[in-house]
């Protein structure tokens, strides 16, 4: 019997999805499970998008151009130019989700054995994409105490070797919610120019910036045009994760021309997502205003509740819809499994993502979890009640329970 | 300025799409261009599929499970079991098109430097997928004289090395249209078991078998369960190329479990294609009967016309909707460009795919082109008129024009 590949054996399982069998079991036992493990928002997809689907009038569901339809790319260029990206539609390659934009960017830019620096915790699937491309991830620790801000540039420089070819940032960040500042991006620009590195910018959460903060992209930085590759998706922007529609953006013509060959090999992105994506660009501003108001309320609720729990700490992030919280636990993988398997509060429990899967350094994140605030406020309150109670009865709790709480537990 | 990757430079351009700029130019000059270069059928997509799209009633366009929805996989299992594949839905992983099934299969089964044997001419994008996975293609020549039948097994054995891990067949074949017989598949089975090789079976054209021939899959061969990986798509079956919906099928549990990790990294296949794909399984048989009748007529017309051209030869293939024809030309790349750039007949011309891109052996296919019979009979006749005239006036013609034709030219 032929063997699976080395990659097939080494490929990491998703930390977001790997506990699913325990959640399914809990549901079969009649427990209600609050899913804070995955960034699948409950927000409705804009009507203009759904209507574009319902109103299709073609007879042959055909391939589109490998780079995406001209009409969608032109409309996307309009969207990005409103954000002052100053690009033309030729700078855009339409992809099957943001995931494909990342894999194509890695394939087009990096050789096997090349190194890529990523501040950790980071989006867990970067590990998988790097494994697929035989690229080596060099993590650089960011810290919960300063809200997971960009590590000092001197820390990046310590990691740079002749094999270093790129840096990935996710902004606003998944899993931490941290929004990088103009100054942080300018510092990265200097670094990338000094060492001739690509800057991969994953901007899946661009629309979700709170408290009046502004989103800054590396696309806004003059002189970095040849180094920047933006990896984008409509998944979160329009709550359209199931569309699998993303894009790769770069002004570097050699990269775009290599990327196009990878895109041609897989023939074309989906036709219907592109029709819907084109319509989505006309989503009224009021949609985003309302959504951001809702996410802000949810974030505030979650951060407040978490910080009220004894021994827990959660920074208040500026964007996206995730937080990474520190909990008084010995092992987040064990805890996230235990809360599904052995715990219930009023017949309810919570599914969370252990933060360990978002770190590449072994041992990091063992007392941290990632929570997605993708449920409504009522459900979030219920989930926080569960978590609070679970922390009191978890056998691996690392903190003595204070007298007042002991009564309650 | 950072450089593109070695792969990015080496990745082959698509032979099917690379002449597009010349076709565009011809159209701008007012010529009508018949597209026989690409397998984009003009056949209408079944109504049940289009209705499934128009009737969507969800509010949130959400991710599905990474392996595809349970409901679609169960329905697909029904479809395959009607063909006697004897599988369960756990043997099916839903993918973004057949292309993704091929890349995942390669990633899950093959290591960089591993060798894969493919009878040539073969589907050109296998070269691209192999390049993406750092896998080495070992081509084995099939011959136009015997209609591109499977080469002798002794020829395969000459190529087998300790690095050989898999064989790919495409059945019915793209680009040759050849349909492999039970005997040919049995011979491959013996070979795969003897050398412990994977047999990758690309079955995109399964529905298109003519003249009462039966389709046989490696899934029908007892004892080969751990070796077979089927790569499938709805693109051609339902004329739904733009759906980007395929699947990987294997009864090898280790491969499926590795494949699932690659699928998890890219999160999920599209939701709407799966809804439509599920509905498509109920497409009435009469749809396929009518489509096959139409393709048979087109094939007969094309093969007859080609063989009537002096110095041309075209086998009569048993399946798919392609033929590879030998023409009296010096260089198929030059000819296919010339006919777009410098030729017109009654203000019309033809776009074809030079066969060179379907061979991996350098120099092979220089007097061959691939033609897709995806246009109606009237258009095919017109296209053949153009080709016939073009062959008479092409400066790189390799055959003296006979007296009777000289008058005409």
First to last CA, chain A: 54
Q: Is the peptide bond before A121 cis (omega within 30 degrees of 0)?
A: yes
Residue A182: how many CB atoms within 10 A of its CB?
A: 11
Across A178-204, average pLDDT? 98
Residue A323's DSSP bridge partners are A371
Across A131-135, average pLDDT? 94
Name the least confident of A87-101, A220-234, B8-22, B70-84: B8-22
CB–CB contact B4 A128 (8 Å) = no
What whole-number distance in Å separates Cα of residue B11 and Cα of residue A396? 52
CB–CB contact B270 A244 (8 Å) = yes
* A3 to chain B: closest CA residue: B109
pLDDT given at position A14: 81
The sign of the CA dihedral B74, B80, B84, B89 is negative
With beta carbons under 8 A apart, name residues in chain B contacting A165.
2
Across A151-166, average pLDDT? 97
Contact predicate B261/A8, CB 8 Å: yes
The pLDDT confidence band at residue A20, using thresholds 50, 70 and 90, is confident
Round the average pLDDT of chain A to a whole number and report it.
95
What does the angle CA A186 – CA A192 – CA A195 come to, to the nearest 5 degrees? Answer: 140
pLDDT given at position B156: 98
The pLDDT confidence band at residue A405, using thresholds 50, 70 and 90, is low
Report the Cα A408 to chain-centroid distance in Å. 37
What whole-number distance in Å separates Cα of residue A230 and Cα of residue A278? 19
ipTM: 0.94
pLDDT given at position A212: 95
pLDDT given at position B404: 67
- Per-residue pLDDT tens over the stretch A28-78: 999 999 999 988 899 999 999 999 999 999 999 999 999 999 999 999 999
Interface test with A, best of B266, B271, B276 (most A CBs within 10 A): B266
- Per-residue pLDDT tens over the stretch A338-364: 999 999 999 999 999 999 999 998 899
DSSP secondary structure string for all residues of B300-346: HHHHHHHHHSTT-B----SBTTEEEEE-SBS-HHHHHHHHHHT--BT
Type and span of the H or E element at A405: helix A403-408
CA distances from A378 to A382, A387, B149 (A): 6, 14, 66
What whole-number distance in Å separates Cα of residue A377 and Cα of residue A232? 28
The pLDDT confidence band at residue A120, using thresholds 50, 70 and 90, is very high
CB–CB contact A128 B262 (8 Å) = yes
Retrieve residue A115's tokens: 């190194």
What does the angle CA A47 – CA A53 – CA A58 come to, to the nearest 5 degrees? Answer: 150
Closest CA to A200 of A83, A89, A262, A107: A107
Across A267-287, average pLDDT? 96
pLDDT given at position B14: 81
What whole-number distance in Å separates Cα of residue B318 and Cα of residue B296? 9
The three-state secondary structure class of A365 is coil
CB–CB contact A244 B60 (8 Å) = no
Q: Is A132 left (phi over 0), alpha (psi -120 to 50) or beta?
A: alpha
Q: Give burial (CB, 10 Å; 0-12/13-18/19+) of A404.
A: exposed
Domains and CATH numbers, chain B: 6-44+286-408 (3.90.1150.10), 47-280 (3.40.640.10)
Residue A116's DSSP bridge partners are A137, A166
- Residues of chain B with confidence (pLDDT) below 50: none
The answer, as to whether pTM is greater than 0.80, is: yes
Closest Cβ–Cβ partner in B53, B109, B129 for A8 = B109
Q: Give burial (CB, 10 Å; 0-12/13-18/19+) of A355.
A: buried
Phi, psi of A209 (to 5 degrees): -125, 135
């Amino acid at each position: 019997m032929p063997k699976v590949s080395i990659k097939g054996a080494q490929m990491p399982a998703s930390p977001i999805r790997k506990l699913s069998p325990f959640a399914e079991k809990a549901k079969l036992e009649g427990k209600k499970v609050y899913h804070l493990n995955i960034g699948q928002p409950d927000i409705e997809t804009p009507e203009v998008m759904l209507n574009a689907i319902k109103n299709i009038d073609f007879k042959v569901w055909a391939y589109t151009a490998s780079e995406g339809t001209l009409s969608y790319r032109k409309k996307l260029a309009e969207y990005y130019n409103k954000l002052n990206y100053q690009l033309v539609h030729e700078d855009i390659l339409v992809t099957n989700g943001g995931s494909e934009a990342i894999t194509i960017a890695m394939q087009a830019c990096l050789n096997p054995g090349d190194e890529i620096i990523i501040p950790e915790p980071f989006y867990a699937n970067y590990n998988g994409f790097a494994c697929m491309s035989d690229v080596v991830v060099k993590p650089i620790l960011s810290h919960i105490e300063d809200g997971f801000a960009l590590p000092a540039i001197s820390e990046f420089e310590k990691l740079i070797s002749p094999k270093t070819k790129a840096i990935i940032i996710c902004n606003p960040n998944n899993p931490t919610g941290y929004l990088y500042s103009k100054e942080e991006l300018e510092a990265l620009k200097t670094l990338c120019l000094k060492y001739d590195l690509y800057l991969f910018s994953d901007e899946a959460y661009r629309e979700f910036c709170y408290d009046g903060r502004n989103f800054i992209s590396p696309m806004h930085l003059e002189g970095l045009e040849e180094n920047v590759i933006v990896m984008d998706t409509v998944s979160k922007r329009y709550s359209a994760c199931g569309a699998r529609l993303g894009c790769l953006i770069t002004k570097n013509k050699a990269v775009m021309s290599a990327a196009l060959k990878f895109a041609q090999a897989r023939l074309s992105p989906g036709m219907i997502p592109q029709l819907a994506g084109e319509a989505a660009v006309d989503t009224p501003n009021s949609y985003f205003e309302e959504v951001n108001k809702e996410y802000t309320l949810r974030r505030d609720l979650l951060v407040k509740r978490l910080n009220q729990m004894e021994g827990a700490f959660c920074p208040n992030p500026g964007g996206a819809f995730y937080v990474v919280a520190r909990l008084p636990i010995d092992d987040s993988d064990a805890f996230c499994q235990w809360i599904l398997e052995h715990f219930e509060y009023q017949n309810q429990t919570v599914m969370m993502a252990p933060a360990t899967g978002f770190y590449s350094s072994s041992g990091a994140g063992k007392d941290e979890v990632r929570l997605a605030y993708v449920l409504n406020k009522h459900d979030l309150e219920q989930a926080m009640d569960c978590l609070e109670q679970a922390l009191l009865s978890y056998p691996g709790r690392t903190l003595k329970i204070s007298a007042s709480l002991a009564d309650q537990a």
